[in-house]
Amino acid sequence: MKQLATVFVLLWTLHGSGQKTFTSYKKILFIGNSITYDGTFISGIETWLRLKYPEARFEIINAGLPSETVSGLSEAGHADNRFPRPDLHERLARVLSLVKPDVVLASYGINDGIYMPFDENRFEQYKQGIYWLHKEVVKSGADIVHISAPCYDERRAGNAGYENTMDRYAAWLTGLKDSGWAVIDVYHPMQKYLMAHRAVDEQFHLDGFELARDGVHPNANAHWLMARIILTAMNENGADTISSIQSFVSGFRNGMAILDKIAEKQTIMKDAWLTAAGHKRPEMKKGLPLVEARKKEKALDKVIDSLNRTR
CATH code assigned at 273: 3.40.50.1110
Model pLDDT for residues 258-285, shown as the tens digit of each residue = 999 999 999 999 999 999 999 999 999 9
Beta strand pairing call for 143-147 and 27-32:
unpaired
Q: Please state, in angstroms and rounded to a whole number, the distance separating the CA atoms of residues 138 and 193.
A: 33
Of 48, 102, 31, nearest to 227 by C-alpha is: 48
In this prediction, residues 187-192 reach a mean pLDDT of 96
What are the strands of the beta sheet with 27-32, ordered from one edge?
A: 59-62, 27-32, 103-107, 143-147, 183-184
Range of the domain at 153: 3-309
pLDDT score at 212: 65
Evaluate the CA torsion angle 282, 286, 289, 295 in order and state its sign. Answer: negative
Q: At 62, is the secondary structure helix, strand, or coil?
A: strand
Q: Please state, in angstroms and rounded to a whole number, the distance separating the CA atoms of residues 125 and 108.
A: 12
> Domain count of the chain?
1
Q: How far is residue 129 CA from its own chain's centroid? A: 18
Q: What angle do CA 192, 5, 260 make, to 5 degrees?
A: 90
Model pLDDT for residues 77-115, shown as the tens digit of each residue = 999 999 999 999 999 999 999 999 999 999 999 999 999
Q: Name which residue leads in pLDDT, 4 or 141.
A: 141
Residue type for position 156: R
- Per-residue DSSP letter, 11: -
